[in-house]
């Protein structure tokens, strides 16, 4: 249970980072984001993504355009805002630190 | 063969099978309940709906079919994830979702008619689910109450009409108290499927001319009858609604007009009995309160009939609340005045006066409808009292049947051999003074003309006096041996003695007379 909880917490933070990374590569549709995340084995169900995207958008990190679709309703295509890009570079820095911290922790255990 | 529905999800029209639609609906309700707490709930839900619509469109396209089936919806839910999955990954504290009162994990039980297990219309079966009682016990009670003056039958019909039938899967689940969420849904569906499988297996064994019937013949008949009632019944219902509408409107107009007339021509002492209880001081507010108490339900009945008859829209909620509020105000006002009127009967007062009666060996007792002018009468009718004194008003024979008997005559034996008449005037009031005042305002005519004693048939109240249970009790005392010829008309005023007891049936029409004996009044015949 505690292990599960920690995993969830770690996953949650990384999921946000990954979503921003995926979107930073260019305009993208939500279900394509899901495809990417599934390929990365980070996301289990699609329903989880929508609240996250809405929250990021409400925080001003993302914006979207409506694009007509041949199948079904019009789709939301997400892009990063300036703030989003800024946030992503901060996260990049944090990730460097984190991976360093983990690597360092593992190293010192070996010694 | 399965029924399909058209749904609009994410602005796409999708054909969907009924059970699949039920499942989807339950899922979306759960999703909405989950995200209902956050401010951007609408956007998230519409994102999810759009995505589901897109998935459906893709499914229909790739599988080359027309209709979304249950399996498709299950697949979509698997991809989207159930609310449980959201809770694990949820941003907010997941405890909030548990405190949501709408989200009942145990399922809120609702009363429906269970037509699947019905004997007649499924009322007992539905009640048994609701009350967690054995259905056969309820049926025995129901049948027993039918013999209690048919009350059970009436109750059954009322319940049949008022309790809705469990149609959809979610209604059937709510009826049995199962949680209407995905887990419950899945369980219910699997249960039904296994039942069906069992049925098919057993059906194969006893496949006769009669396919296994899980429902009684009466239930089938009731179903058909119900369907008929819905078709023909609708027309009948509309017809009844129109009748109610018309008669209700007429009653409404009549009520308003009669109240207006009442307020215009109000006079306490001259109006008919039940109205003259109300004091003039608060007659108007009381009558208006009563009018509203009567008119508001009448008005809602009319509005309801209009709605039934013309398939109109339901009444504005604000309007109906206002109506209810007005009605309650009027009701409390009415109750207040009724209590006030009740208090006017709290105290009793009585005063007595003795009237000497000239001595004769025989008296003729009769009812006299004529009335002497008293001084008060002259003032009442604004006549010149000096000119009209002693004149007689000829009253018509109109008897106020509604008024309680207020004149009683008792004939007793005189102890001192002197004839006399005692008049006791009594009345009620809020206190002793008012009661006495009311008693003093009673006017009663008694006249002796030689040996003829004339009694007035009723007492008279002075103008603007309310009815406060005013009564006149007359005690006529005559010496032993006095002969009394009593008029038949007097019988209804006599107390403790009835002229009809005099003689047997054959002698009823013969002339008779009463004689005062030591043991009281006795009747005698001439022959």
CA distance B69 to chain A (A): 18
Please report the pLDDT score of residue A9 as a whole number: 78
Which residue did the predictor score with more confidence, B388 or B424? Answer: B424
Residue B509 sits at the chain A interface (C-beta within 8 Å): no
Q: Which of B9-18, B86-95, B283-292, B453-462 has the lowest mean pLDDT?
A: B86-95
How far is residue B513's CA from residue B499's CA, in Å, rounded to a whole number? 10
B286 and B361: one domain?
no
**Mean pLDDT, to the nearest integer, of B97-102?**
37
Whether residue B209 lies inside any domain: the answer is no
Whether this prediction's pTM lies above 0.80 is answered by no
Q: Which residues of A touch B89 (CB under 8 A)?
A: 8, 11-12, 15, 48
Specify the pLDDT at position B393.
55
Q: What is the number of alpha carbons within 13 Å of residue A50 lying toward its C-beta?
A: 27
For B378, the 3-state DSSP assignment is: helix
Q: CB-based contacts of B259: which residues, under 8 Å, 6+ apart?
A: B287, B288, B291
**Cα(A63)–Cα(B45) distance, rounded to whole angstroms?**
18
CATH number of A2-110: 1.10.10.10
- For residue B377, give Cα distances in angstroms to B167, B275, B388, B442, B444: 76, 22, 10, 12, 12
pLDDT of residue B364: 87
The ipTM, to two decimals, is 0.81
Q: What letter would DSSP give residue B274?
A: G
What is the phi/psi pair of residue B14, to 5°? -125, 135
Q: What integer pLDDT is reported at residue B95 of this predicted model?
A: 37
B369 and B514 housed in the same domain: yes
Residue in B11, B61, B80 nearest the CB of A46: B80
Amino acid B106: pLDDT: 47
Strands, E assignment, A1-111: 28-29, 62-67, 75-80
Check residues B270 and A67 and name the one with the higher pLDDT.
A67
Same domain assignment for residues B296 and B399: no
The answer to whether residues B295 and B317 belong to one domain is: yes
Confidence of residue B392 (pLDDT cuts 50, 70, 90): low
Give B377 or B293, the one with higher predicted confidence: B293
A45, A53, A69: residue with CB nearest B85: A45
Q: For residues B387 and B303, state if they share a domain.
A: no
Does position B269 have pLDDT exceeding 50, yes or no? no
Residue B207 falls inside a structural domain: no
How many Cβ atoms sit within 10 Å of the Cβ of residue A44? 15
B422 and B510 inside one domain: yes
Residue B471 · residue B406 · CB < 8 Å:
yes
pLDDT digits (tens, 9 = 90+) for B112-171: 888 777 777 888 888 888 888 788 888 888 887 777 766 777 777 777 877 777 777 677
φ, ψ of residue A45 to 5 degrees: the values are: -125, 150
Our count of domains for chain B comes to 4
Query: Does position B510 have pLDDT exceeding 80, yes or no?
Result: no
DSSP for B87-138, please give it. Answer: HHH-SS-THHHHH-TT--SS------B-STT-SSSSHHHHHHHHHT--HHHH
Residue B271: what pLDDT?
A: 56
Note whether B469 and B515 are same-domain residues: yes
Residue-range definition of the domain harbouring residue B154? 104-200
Question: What whole-number distance in Å separates Cα of residue B76 and Cα of residue B291?
Answer: 61
Structure tokens that stand for B185 in this block: 């849904």
Pairing of strands B446-449, B452-455: antiparallel
Q: What local confidence, expressed as pLDDT, does residue B258 receive?
A: 85
Q: Among B31, B40, B53, whose Cβ lies nearest the Cβ of A72?
A: B53
Q: How confident is the model at residue B383 (pLDDT cuts 50, 70, 90)?
A: low
Output the pLDDT for position B499: 67
B85–A contact, CB cutoff 8 A:
yes
Of B11, B38, B81, the CB nearest to A48: B81
Domain parsing of chain A, residue ranges: 2-110
A1, A5, A50, best to mutate vs chain B, most B CBs in 10 Å:
A50
CA distance B479 to B436: 32
Q: Which residues of B touch A69 (CB under 8 A)?
A: 54
> Between the CA of residue B54 and those of B19, B96, B113, B362, what are the distances in Å?
20, 31, 38, 113
Confidence band (pLDDT; 50, 70, 90) for B329?
very high
């Amino acid at each position: 249970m505690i292990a599960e909880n920690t995993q969830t917490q770690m996953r949650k933070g990384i999921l946000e980072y990954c979503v921003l990374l995926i979107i930073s590569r260019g305009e993208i549709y939500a279900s394509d984001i899901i495809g990417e995340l599934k390929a990365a084995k980070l996301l289990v169900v699609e329903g989880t993504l929508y609240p996250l995207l809405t929250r990021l958008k409400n925080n001003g990190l993302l914006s979207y355009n409506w694009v007509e679709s041949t199948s079904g309703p019009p789709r939301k295509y997400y892009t990063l805002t300036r703030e989003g890009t800024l946030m992503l570079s901060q996260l990049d820095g944090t990730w460097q630190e984190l991976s360093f911290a983990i690597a360092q922790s593992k190293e010192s255990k070996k010694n | 063969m399965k029924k399909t529905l058209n749904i609009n999800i994410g602005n796409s029209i999708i054909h969907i099978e009924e059970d699949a639609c039920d499942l989807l609906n339950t899922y979306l309700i759960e999703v909405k309940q989950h995200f209902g707490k956050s401010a951007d709930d609408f956007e998230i839900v519409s994102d999810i709906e759009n995505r589901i619509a897109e998935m459906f469109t893709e499914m229909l396209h790739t599988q080359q079919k027309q209709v979304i089936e249950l399996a498709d919806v299950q697949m979509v839910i698997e991809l989207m994830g159930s609310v449980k999955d959201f809770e694990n990954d949820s941003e907010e504290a997941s405890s909030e979702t548990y405190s949501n009162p709408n989200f009942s994990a145990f399922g809120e039980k609702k009363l429906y008619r269970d037509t699947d297990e019905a004997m007649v219309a499924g009322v007992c079966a539905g009640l048994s689910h609701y009350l967690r009682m054995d259905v056969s016990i309820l049926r025995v009670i129901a049948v027993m109450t039918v013999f209690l003056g048919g009350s059970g039958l009436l109750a059954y019909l009322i319940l049949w009409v008022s309790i809705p039938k469990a149609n959809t899967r979610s209604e059937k689940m709510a009826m049995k108290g199962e949680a209407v969420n995905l887990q419950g849904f899945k369980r219910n569906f699997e249960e039904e499927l296994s039942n069906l499988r069992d049925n098919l297996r057993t059906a194969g064994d006893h496949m006769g001319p009669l396919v296994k019937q899980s429902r009684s013949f009466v239930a089938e008949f009731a179903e058909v009858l119900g369907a008929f009632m819905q078709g023909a019944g609708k027309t009948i219902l509309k017809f009844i609604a129109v009748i109610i509408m018309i008669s209700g409107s007429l009653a409404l107009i009549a009520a308003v007009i009669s109240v207006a007339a009442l307020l215009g021509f109000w006079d306490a002492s001259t109006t008919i009995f039940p109205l003259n209880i109300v004091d003039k001081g608060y007659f108007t507010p009381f009558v208006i309160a009563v009018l509203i108490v009567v008119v508001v339900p009448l008005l809602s009945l009319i509005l309801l009939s209009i709605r039934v008859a013309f398939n109109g829209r339901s009444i504005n909620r604000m309007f109906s609340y206002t109506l209810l509020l007005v009605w309650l105000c009027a009701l409390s006002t009415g109750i207040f005045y009724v209590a006030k009127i009740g208090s006017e009967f709290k105290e009793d007062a009585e005063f007595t006066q003795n009237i000497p009666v000239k001595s004769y060996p025989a008296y003729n007792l009769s009812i006299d409808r004529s009335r002497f002018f008293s001084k008060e009468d002259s003032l009442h009718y604004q006549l010149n009292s000096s000119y009209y004194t002693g004149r007689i008003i000829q009253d018509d024979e109109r008897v106020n049947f509604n008024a309680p008997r207020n004149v009683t005559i008792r004939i007793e034996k005189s102890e001192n051999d002197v004839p006399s008449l005692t008049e006791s005037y009594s009345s009620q009031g809020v206190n002793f003074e008012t009661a006495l005042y009311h008693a003093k305002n009673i006017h009663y005519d008694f006249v002796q003309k030689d040996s003829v004693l004339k009694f007035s048939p009723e007492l008279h109240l002075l103008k603007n006096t309310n009815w406060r249970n005013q009564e006149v009790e007359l005690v006529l005392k005559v010496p032993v041996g006095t002969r009394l010829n009593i008029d038949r008309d007097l019988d209804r005023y006599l107390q403790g003695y009835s002229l009809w007891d005099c003689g047997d049936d054959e002698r009823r029409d013969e002339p008779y007379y009463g004689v005062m004996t030591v043991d009281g009044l006795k009747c005698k015949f001439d022959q």
